[in-house]
Amino acid sequence: MIEDRTLTITALLTTFLRPILVTWLLTLCETALTALIPLFIGFAIDGLLDNNTEALQQLALVLAALMGVAVARRVYDTRVYGTIRVEVGKVQVARARKVPVSTLNARLGMARELVDFLELEIPGIMNSGVQIVVSLIILYIFHPALSCAALVATALAILFYGLCHHRFYRLNADHNQQVEQQVKILEEKSDQAVLSHFTRLRKIEIKLSDTEAWVYGAIFTVFLGFIVFNLWFAATNIETTAGTIFSIINYSWEFVESALVLPMALQSWSRLSEITQRINNAD
């Protein structure tokens, strides 16, 4: 059980593996059904133009299945991850008998972020992963250079984030350290101490925001360059129609939207790495 283990993402996964796998399976089913909808819409349009409603009925079945899976996943997720939050909270309180209430209160909130990552971030990463694979395959079918450009852009985006990883980690550590002192500072009932506390939080949050702005600005510039390259390459190096060029740009943009989730996930992982170390500290 989780009581005997260090509180990490891996520990939560292995301890609650079966229910989490069910949530992930439902997520993949929802993603797959969502990806099929444009295809079935096309079939339905072609069928209706031929006075055939069979494809329309198939589209309706896919939409109904999507609705059913989406509702079931959300209902099940709430119960599974709610249970995990309860267990994590119990373990923290049991282990923190000597930790000040201010620190424990802050760490209870931080630990919930581990569960939030499993509940909210992982499904988004799964969805993006499916979209990235589909986009890469279709772009490769149009021309291998288009797919290679997508991979190069992604590598550059990860590189830009990697250069700022330690800064994100340090700023998150400073922020969490300050939050741990909040209850203690409020108990002092000193206006000056409270003002100093919130000012310190503001300065750290500004530094985090500025770092995010520069990193994501650089990453987005890379992906815009990727879009421009694919548009130029498709128009000048491939025998295409206007519809094909539209499809290439559409899938290129879908790839960008999905790939942007990667640096966001890495940033979340940086924050969780610092939180994991902090909440498992007995002091």
- φ/ψ bin of 51: left (φ > 0), alpha (ψ from -120 to 50), beta (otherwise): left
CATH superfamily of 129-283: ABC transporter type 1, transmembrane domain (1.20.1560.10)
**Averaged pLDDT for residues 267-280:** 79
pTM above 0.85, yes or no: no
- The mean pLDDT value of the chain amounts to 84
pLDDT > 90: what percent of the chain? 17
Half-sphere exposure of 92 (CA within 13 A, CB side): 26
| Cα distance between residue 17 and residue 15, in whole Å | 6
**Averaged pLDDT for residues 2-25:** 86
The pLDDT tens digits of the residues spanning 116-130 come to: 888 888 888 888 888
Q: What is the pLDDT of residue 282?
A: 60
**Averaged pLDDT for residues 51-68:** 89
Token pair 């740009």 is found at 249
What's the pLDDT band for 226 if we cut at 50, 70, 90? very high
Q: What is the pLDDT of residue 242?
A: 67
Q: Are 93 and 105 in contact (CB under 8 A)?
A: no
- pLDDT higher than threshold 80 for residue 101: no
Q: Are 258 and 131 in contact (CB under 8 A)?
A: yes
Q: What is the pLDDT of residue 72?
A: 92
Extents of the domains making up the chain? 1-95, 129-283
Q: What is the pLDDT of residue 66?
A: 92
Q: What is the pLDDT of residue 42?
A: 72
Which residues are within 8 A (CB) of 37 and not within 5 positions of it... i.e. 6 or more apart? 59, 62, 63, 66
Of 7-21, 71-85, 205-219, 244-258, the range with the lowest mean pLDDT is 244-258
**Cα torsion 22, 24, 28, 34: sign:** positive
What's the pLDDT band for 283 if we cut at 50, 70, 90? low
